[in-house]
């Protein structure tokens, strides 16, 4: 559902748009609250972080001291209330592993992940549009071959693709580094790996929308009144085909964190995914929760952006939104 975008077209419904945006915000507020609460209690079920903090040789006194220091000795419901009240003031707590503020830890790891995710999104999207437009706009031997390749690629999980890319480009050919984030060349393989999580579904969706768009009346009309092939593709077919693809992009944003975690693990990349795994290993609750909240907000943002883009691309969606 588009949250914005309609204000620009019809100023008369500006108030309604504002109300819609407010409702959306309230909705994400409730969601974050439910998610945080669920995570809080689930994480407390998993074990006692004080044992992890104190180490295996700690005495009972040391354990008690650590519990007192981190407030882990209080009743669970008191801990929960205190956590929530701090959260409302923007305080995500302190990382049990490093002693740094949890939010700072997460925000420091995030840029490295975004530096992979955003180029990967863009790369997948651009490649998918090019490939999809070509695949959908006719039939030929070359196209059938490429469809087959895309089908195989769709069956290749990102982490398998990543490992095979390392095998080929970093080891057999030794063209590119396989580990770490040092310089531009080290971005190539992880970005390609992450893009492969997204590319096949996007390509197949665009190809099928392009194929369908060629059957639509307005495209047939454009062809009938003498529009060139290029005009038909770029002015009539593609904008339409992109609507579904942008919507899918929003949905795939949620997938990116899992994809990023796997990719970062394979390539030893110091991002949020690596942070999530290492934090999970030592039960660093505040950091895990901060990651969950930040990611939930990012996914929400991506979906809102996708909705706005869909509304801008698709007059039907725009009209539907205004009718609400």
Partner 1 sequence: MAAGSAAANLMLRGGAGLVLLMMTTSIAVVFVGGADPSSGNLDNRLAAPGFGAMLGTDQLGRDVLVRTLAGTAWSLCAALAATFLALLIGTSLALVAAELGGKVALAIELAVNSVITMPGLIIAIIVIAVIGQGWLPIVVTLGLITWPIFTRVILAETLSLKARDYVAASRLVGETRLRIVMFHYLPALRPTLLVMAAFHFADMLIAEGALSFLGLAAPLGAPTWGNMMADARPYVFSAPWMLLAPAAAIVVSVIAANLIGDGLASRFRERRT
Identify which of residues 115 and 296 has a Cβ nearer to partner 1 in the complex.
296
- Residue linked to tokens 């002015």: 235
- Residue linked to tokens 């929960």: 80
CB of 14 to partner 1, least distance (A): 27
Identify which of residues 283 and 312 has a Cβ nearer to partner 1 in the complex.
283
CB of 33 to partner 1, least distance (A): 10
Identify which of residues 134 and 285 has a Cβ nearer to partner 1 in the complex.
285
Residue 106 CA to residue 94 CA, distance in Å, equals: 11
Identify which of residues 238 and 269 has a Cβ nearer to partner 1 in the complex.
269
Q: Are 324 and 20 in contact (CB under 8 A)?
A: yes
Nearest alpha carbon to residue 286 among 111, 109, 105, 50 = 105
Q: Which residues contact 50 (CB under 8 A, 6 or more apart)?
A: 63, 66, 67, 70, 72
CB of 36 to partner 1, least distance (A): 10
CB of 152 to partner 1, least distance (A): 6
Rounded to a whole number of angstroms, the distance between the first and last alpha carbons of the chain is 10
**Helices 185-213 and 238-267: angle between axes, nearest 10 degrees:** 150
Q: Are 322 and 10 in contact (CB under 8 A)?
A: yes
DSSP 249: H
Q: Which residues contact 17 (CB under 8 A, 6 or more apart)?
A: 3, 4, 6, 7
CB of 258 to partner 1, least distance (A): 5
Residue 116 CA to residue 118 CA, distance in Å, equals: 6
CB of 156 to partner 1, least distance (A): 5
Q: Phi-psi region for residue 90, left (φ > 0), alpha (ψ -120 to 50) or beta?
A: left
Identify which of residues 113 and 232 has a Cβ nearer to partner 1 in the complex.
113
Residue 105 CA to residue 124 CA, distance in Å, equals: 29
CB of 154 to partner 1, least distance (A): 6
Identify which of residues 46 and 228 has a Cβ nearer to partner 1 in the complex.
46
Identify which of residues 41 and 234 has a Cβ nearer to partner 1 in the complex.
41
Nearest alpha carbon to residue 40 among 282, 278, 289 = 289
CB of 290 to partner 1, least distance (A): 11
Q: Applying CB under 8 A, which residues contact partner 1?
A: 27, 30-32, 34-35, 38-39, 42-43, 45-47, 151-152, 154-160, 163-164, 166-167, 171, 254, 257-258, 261-262, 265-266, 276-277, 280, 283, 288, 291-292, 295-296, 299-300
Identify which of residues 13 and 280 has a Cβ nearer to partner 1 in the complex.
280
**Helices 272-281 and 238-267: angle between axes, nearest 10 degrees:** 50
């Amino acid at each position: 559902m588009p949250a914005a975008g309609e204000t620009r077209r019809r100023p008369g419904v500006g108030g309604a748009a504002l109300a819609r945006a407010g409702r959306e915000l309230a909705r994400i507020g409730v969601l974050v609250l439910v998610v945080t609460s669920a995570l809080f209690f689930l994480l407390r079920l998993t074990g006692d972080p004080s044992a992890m903090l104190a180490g295996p040789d700690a005495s009972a006194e040391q354990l008690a001291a650590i519990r007192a220091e981190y407030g882990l000795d209080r009743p669970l419901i008191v801990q929960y209330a205190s956590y929530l009240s701090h959260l409302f003031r923007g305080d995500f707590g302190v990382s049990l592993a490093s002693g740094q503020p949890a939010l700072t830890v997460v925000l420091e790891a995030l840029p490295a992940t975004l530096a992979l995710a955003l180029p990967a999104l863009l790369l997948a999207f651009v490649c998918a549009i090019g490939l999809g437009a070509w695949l959908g706009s006719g039939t030929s031997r070359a196209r059938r071959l490429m469809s087959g390749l895309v089908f195989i690629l769709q069956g290749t999980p990102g982490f398998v693709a990543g490992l095979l890319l390392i095998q080929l480009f970093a080891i057999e050919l030794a063209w590119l580094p396989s580990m770490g984030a040092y310089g531009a060349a080290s971005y190539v393989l992880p970005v390609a790996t992450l893009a492969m999580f997204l590319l096949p579904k996007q390509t197949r969706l665009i190809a099928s929308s392009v194929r369908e768009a060629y059957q639509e009346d307005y495209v047939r009309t454009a062809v009938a009144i003498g529009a060139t092939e290029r005009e038909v593709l770029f002015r009539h077919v593609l904008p339409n085909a992109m609507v579904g693809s942008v919507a899918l992009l929003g949905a795939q944003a949620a997938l990116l964190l899992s994809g990023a975690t796997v990719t970062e693990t394979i390539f030893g990349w110091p991002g949020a995914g690596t942070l999530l795994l290492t934090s999970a290993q030592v039960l660093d609750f505040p950091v895990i929760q901060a990651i969950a909240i930040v990611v939930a907000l990012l996914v929400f943002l991506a979906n809102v952006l996708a909705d706005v883009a869909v509304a801008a691309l698709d007059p039907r969606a725009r009209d539907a939104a205004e009718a609400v």
